Amino acid sequence: MAAAAALLSAWFWDERFWLPRNVTWADVAGRSPRAGLVACAFPLALGIFAVRLLFERFIAKPCAINLGIQDSGPHRAQPNAILEKVFTSITKSPDGRRLEGLSKQLDWDVRKIQRWFRHRRNQDKPTILTKFCESMWRFTFYLSIFSYGIRFLWSTPWFWDTRQCWYNYPFQPLTSSLYYYYIMELAFYWSLMFSQFTDIKRKDFLIMFVHHLATIGLITFSYMNNMVRVGTLVLCLHDASDFLLEAAKLANYAKYQRVCDATFMLFSVVFIVTRLGIYPYWILNTTLFESWELIGPYPSWWLFNGLLVTLQVLHIIWSYLIIRIAYKALMRGKVSKDDRSDVESSSEEEDTTSNSTKGNFCTSSNGANRINGHITTGQWAEEE
């Protein structure tokens, strides 16, 4: 067993995969990130999760109450033993045939039964207060880590000259400030993995789980092969728009619609500029071309750049979704709802397919088309 473990370890840490040509593990010993330090992210992630619980209870909740957000859920369905049994044991969304049968059995109109199931589904949905607290925590963390990242990177040479990411690679020292920044980001995404099972459940639960897992893998991988300098640029660039999205959601929950509209449009501009402009011309340029010139390609280099290019493909998809939201808002005077929405509209106006428009980007309207997929690590999938 020990021999097999040794062979597996030797295979995994093959120098020909991880390091540039003519560089060995002995050469970088003591001068590159150590794998054991990544383990510190786990207890730190649990600590972040604990801080989040305290933050939501003692800071976010009082703020929400002061803004007039009440801890009250949607309209509750009228008690009915037969429909409740169907809902819990058979289906939460009965088809037309079952609706006709229930209509005859209860002597209820089909629309009334449909309305009952809609209300009953909404009973299990989180309240606006719960969503506000979750978004306020994300907003606070994203803004804090982005501010720290900008402050840290401002004094680094590779922020101003990306070729500095590759000079003397892989013998670049890991400073304490760089390590704290990297490990905090990694711990936060681990905390998102933990909290995803207790947070508001959305339709893209599996997609976001894979997304968090891929993000953790990319951060860990770049740490292990000491590509942390360019990694900090990637992290900071992606944090630039996330807190704006959460701010727009907070304004939406508090019903400050003009603030919500302006913030969401600012988020859209920042997202598109950073992901479609700065990312390819600043990040991909240095990882693909400058690094090729200075250190040359090798197996882990190809994998790292493959992941970054894949990320750019996702940026294009997400930017298209954002642009489509803005376009539909301009054409119809309303914003389309994300397929990831955690709340269904339970208003009776839905049954009459209202066509009213409210003229803002943050209002989810009746009968609106939904967006397939998600926009970013933050989720724009909210209802009033």
Q: Are 19 and 170 in contact (CB under 8 A)?
A: yes
- Of residues 143, 236, 258, 110, the one with CA closest to residue 182: 236
Cβ count within 10 A of residue 96: 9
* HSE-CB of 260 using CA atoms within 13 angstroms: 21
Average pLDDT over residues 157-168: 96
The amino acid that residue 55 corresponds to is F
- 48's tokens: 């972040």
Looking up tokens 């209870």, which residue turns up?
A: 57
Quote the pLDDT of residue 64. 95
Quote the pLDDT of residue 359. 42
Cβ count within 10 A of residue 195: 17
Q: Are 229 and 172 in contact (CB under 8 A)?
A: yes
- 113's tokens: 């039964």
Q: How confident is the model at residue 244 (pLDDT cuts 50, 70, 90)?
A: very high
Q: How confident is the model at residue 241 (pLDDT cuts 50, 70, 90)?
A: very high
CATH 1.10.10.60 segments of the chain: 81-123
Q: Is the pLDDT of residue 376 over 50?
A: no
Tell me the C-alpha distance between 288 and 308, whole Å: 10
- How far, in whole angstroms, is CA 143 from its chain's centroid? 14
- 93's tokens: 């969304």
pTM of the model: 0.79
- Of residues 97, 105, 110, 99, the one with CA closest to residue 81: 105
Q: How confident is the model at residue 201 (pLDDT cuts 50, 70, 90)?
A: low
Q: How confident is the model at residue 341 (pLDDT cuts 50, 70, 90)?
A: very low
Looking up tokens 């539909």, which residue turns up?
A: 328
Tell me the C-alpha distance between 215 and 220, whole Å: 8
Average pLDDT over residues 261-286: 94
Q: Is the pLDDT of residue 173 over 90?
A: no
Q: Is the pLDDT of residue 207 over 60?
A: yes
Residues facing 370 on adjacent strands: 337
Quote the pLDDT of residue 147. 96
The amino acid that residue 136 corresponds to is M
Q: Are 216 and 76 in contact (CB under 8 A)?
A: no
Residues 103-162: tens digit of each pLDDT: 888 889 889 888 888 888 887 777 889 899 999 999 999 999 999 999 999 999 999 999
Sort 354 into a burial class: Cβ within 10 Å, 0-12 / 13-18 / 19+: middle
Looking up tokens 């807190």, which residue turns up?
A: 243
- 364's tokens: 């989810």
200 to each of 135, 197, 210, 296, how far by Cα in Å? 11, 8, 17, 45
Quote the pLDDT of residue 325. 82
Q: Is the pLDDT of residue 339 over 50?
A: no
- How far, in whole angstroms, is CA 364 from its chain's centroid? 20
Which one is predicted more confidently, 101 or 212?
A: 101
* HSE-CB of 232 using CA atoms within 13 angstroms: 31
Residue 125 φ then ψ, to 5°: -85, 155
Tell me the C-alpha distance between 319 and 271, whole Å: 7
Q: Are 137 and 53 in contact (CB under 8 A)?
A: no
Q: Are 330 and 357 in contact (CB under 8 A)?
A: no
- 5's tokens: 């473990």
Q: Which range (54-63, 91-100, 121-130, 161-170) has the least confidence?
A: 121-130
Residues 43-54: tens digit of each pLDDT: 999 999 999 999
Q: Which range (3-12, 41-50, 220-229, 309-318) has the least confidence?
A: 3-12
Sort 55 into a burial class: Cβ within 10 Å, 0-12 / 13-18 / 19+: middle
CATH architecture of the region 81-123? Orthogonal Bundle (1.10)
377 to each of 29, 74, 106, 119, 203, how far by Cα in Å? 35, 27, 45, 29, 14
83 to each of 5, 101, 338, how far by Cα in Å? 57, 11, 29
Looking up tokens 């449909």, which residue turns up?
A: 114
- Helix (H/G/I), strand (E/B), else coil: 47: helix
CA angle 171, 176, 177 (to 5 degrees): 110
